[in-house]
Chain A
Amino acid sequence: KNQVEQSPQSLIILEGKNCTLQCNYTVSPFSNLRWYKQDTGRGPVSLTIMTFSENTKSNGRYTATLDADTKQSSLHITASQLSDSASYICVVRDSGGGADGLTFGKGTHLIIQP
């Protein structure tokens, strides 16, 4: 069964600090991995999308890494801002063609404190 596990479940850091969120997955066959930011009461917004051959991808202060061998990904947030407070969801797409082909993690709830 395809699974995506995220850690930590929740995280509180001070504004300006960096943090790293983890995602481990067992999805086969692998197509791509996405990180989404979901503000409370809003739909997820894409941060990065990474394919098998990509190791690192940045989007502003967000940097995602992917290790396809160990099936791990991380999302690093640099110089956090209050607006970064949200849930961050790791989503892995399989190429098996079933339904939406997506397996969602439960997310990491990040709180940035002033």
Chain B
Amino acid sequence: GAVVSQHPSRVICKSGTSVKIECRSLDFQATTMFWYRQFPKQSLMLMATSNEGSKATYEQGVEKDKFLINHASLTLSTLTVTSAHPEDSSFYICSAGTLQAFFGQGTRLTVV
């Protein structure tokens, strides 16, 4: 089946630094990818829709200047958490695919 690969799986960074998370569709092209955030024992919350070749669409309450999304090719979307704060610590997951959503492995971000 289709595979979505997310990297890194874990990252620890210092407050104020930026972190980039990559999401790749390995065996299909994805003009649209989605980024989610998940807190412990909570459901996935959609943050933004990543559109290949155009600007991302952010959900209400998500700061676009803080969570920069780039979708420069049909197989790669990146999420950059800028000027990270401890409250940004969370589990970030990407997905791709229309009829059936395929999720990446997730990235555990810890900001210290």
What is the chain A residue whose CB lies nearest that of B45?
A104
The count of chain A contact residues (Cβ–Cβ below 8 Å) is 20
> Are A34 and B100 neighbours in the complex by a CB distance under 8 Å?
yes
Interface residues of A in 1-53 (CB under 8 A from B): 32, 34, 36, 41-46, 49
With A41-B91, A42-B106, A46-B102: A89-B43 Cβ-Cβ less than 8 Å: yes
With A41-B108, A43-B106, A49-B100: A104-B44 Cβ-Cβ less than 8 Å: yes
> Are A100 and B101 neighbours in the complex by a CB distance under 8 Å?
yes
Give me the interface of A with B, judged by CB distance under 8 Å: 32, 34, 36, 41-46, 49, 89, 91, 99-100, 102, 104-107, 109
A32 partner residues in chain B, CB cutoff 8 A? 99
A102 partner residues in chain B, CB cutoff 8 A? 46, 101
**How many pairs of A and B residues are in contact by the CB < 8 Å rule?**
52
Interface residues of B in 65-110 (CB under 8 A from A): 91, 93, 95, 99-106, 108
> Are A99 and B106 neighbours in the complex by a CB distance under 8 Å?
no
Pick the contact of B43: A34, A41, A99, A107 (CB < 8 A): A107
With A99-B57, A100-B34: A43-B93 Cβ-Cβ less than 8 Å: yes
Q: Closest CB of chain A to B98's CB: distance in Å? A: 9
> Are B103 and A43 neighbours in the complex by a CB distance under 8 Å?
yes
